[in-house]
Amino acid sequence: MDTNGKHLIMELSGCREDILKDGEKVKNILIEASRIAHAEVREVIVHGFQPCGISVMVILSESHLSVHTWPLLRYASVDIYTCGDKTRPEEACDFIYNKFEAESKTITALQRGIPAVNGTFTHNIL
């Protein structure tokens, strides 16, 4: 089993507030982003917060994709973690950025699950 994966952590600022409040819309954006990333969706969980804001978790065969929104701040935090070499998480980031109509994004990329010494694993910042 290949443990090597890529984890993209994305901060989106200046997003459209109405999109960040709509759990169904965000869920559908993440499902489509998973397809664009060539990942297989296993399960989707949506949780809404009061007065607003949502968390969506997409469990993938290759790992996960998640978003947490703060509509009043027009901010969303996104995690995309995929294992193996067939997925394209960068394309999922671009898709989400465009669909949230964000004004800016910051992405940090990690390579995860790197075999190290004595049966341990580590990660690298890319």
State yes or no: is 63 an active-site residue.
yes
What DSSP string runs through 10-62?
EEEES--HHHHH-HHHHHHHHHHHHHHTT--EEEEEEEE-SSS-EEEEEEETT
3 state SS of 9: strand
Among the listed residues 7, 15, 34, 83, the single catalytic one is 83
Among the listed residues 64, 68, 77, 123, the single catalytic one is 68
State yes or no: is 68 an active-site residue.
yes
Among the listed residues 63, 64, 66, 123, the single catalytic one is 63
Q: Which structure tokens are listed for 99? A: 């669909």
Residue positions annotated with a catalytic role: 63, 68, 83
